[in-house]
Amino acid sequence: MQTIKPLDKSPTAANGNIAVNGHDGSALRAIVIDKIDAKIIKELRRHGVDVKDSPGMSRGELLGEIGQYHILIGRTRMPVDKEILEKGTNLRIVGRAAVGTDNIDFAAAERNGVKVINAPGAATESVAELALTLTFMALRGVYNGSAMLKNGEFFKNSGVELAGKTVGIIGFGRIGSRFAEVLRPFNVNVIVNDIAKMNGRVKELGAEFVGMNELLARSDIISLHVNMEANTKPVIDGSSFAMMKDGAILINTVRAAAVDMHALQRSLASGKLGFYASDVLWNEPPKDPKELEIIAKDNVLITPHIGAQTNEAQGRVAEIMIPNLVEAIKELKRPVYPADNGDFVDRLEYHFIE
């Protein structure tokens, strides 16, 4: 359970009215640091929130300004860590316009009375479709063929079909199971591994539940859909690559940390891994020399974290977040009255949206 700290420690504002908005009875203030659906900003303003829309704001700029704001809204680009939360002395709500919350320091948020609101399930369709797109591009060499043609080289590169292949799905939650669904028309053999053995759902989708080692050994294509909020170590490391088929394809639409970067580099260089297609990087934008070396390889395709970057997914983010933001704003505007002992009554408690 999360508790929002009340806005003001005094029962009245400077003008003598009960302080129901800011410290002086003025409007709540919000800072938006990434491009989000305009409906979210419109709804905040409709509820009297003064919104500064600053997509692309740097961390340094945010640290210099965050103390002025009650609400911070962004996507996954910038971690909301202890430093940001502690410098945000007036901060009461962090809105994550995305599904993942793994780069938010929940312990620091709890200590500082900051409520976290996200958008679970909003990007399921978009990420599953991107995983399928990356699969086809890896199988057929689409990107390299197009790049060669643009450089004046007309070369018919060979590829392989998806039909008849074994696809291993690691993580069978919303996105993993949806990916299994979109694969059904392509005549593939789907095998699944998850920490929870969901036999009913697996059988419903015509898949087979297997152990991790068996999945690694049997799969022609492996797609990662694990929840990295519960994982502190890579899911795919050196021993994992050793168990894979020679020339296997690895698809990653979760977090770069799901794959050991150094082991990946070695597996690509040796030819053990045939192709790595990913929507995520260890640094966004990339800066580590080894990371840049991986990106430059012909058997690697990286997209710039666009899994949820569709009009439909961002529309669903707005649909999910708006009612929860509005409810939190209404609670913040509720007066805080003095108790008999001189302290102040705070009953602003919420459950985090799973």
CA angle 350, 352, 353 (to 5 degrees): 120
Given the residues 70, 255, 291, 316, the one annotated as active site: 255
Would you state the structure tokens that stand for residue 25, as one six-digit string?
Answer: 């009875």
Q: Which residue matches tokens 């150094």?
A: 262
Which amino acid type is present at position 178? R
Given the residues 161, 284, 312, 327, the one annotated as active site: 284
Active site residue 284: yes
Active site residue 129: no
Would you state the structure tokens that stand for residue 75, as one six-digit string?
Answer: 């996507």
Q: Which residue matches tokens 């962004």?
A: 74
Residues 6+ apart with CB under 8 A from 50: 27, 28, 29, 30
Euclidean distance between the first and the last CA atom of the chain, given in angstroms as a whole number: 11
Instruction: Check if the beta carbon of residue 225 is closer than 8 Å to that of residue 178.
Output: no
Instruction: Check if the beta carbon of residue 157 is closer than 8 Å to that of residue 348.
Output: no
Find the helix packing angle between 124-140 and 142-150, rounded to 10°.
70
Concatenate the DSSP letters of all residues of 194-215 into one string.
-SS--HHHHHHTT-EE--HHHH
Can you give the length of the chain in residues? 354
Given the residues 70, 96, 305, 316, the one annotated as active site: 305
Residue 196 buriedness (CB in 10 A; 0-12 / 13-18 / 19+): exposed
Question: Could you say which DSSP state residue 103 is in?
Answer: T
Which amino acid type is present at position 285? P
Q: How far is CA 158 from the centre of its chain?
A: 34
CA angle 223, 132, 261 (to 5 degrees): 40
Catalytic residue numbers, as ranges: 255, 284, 305
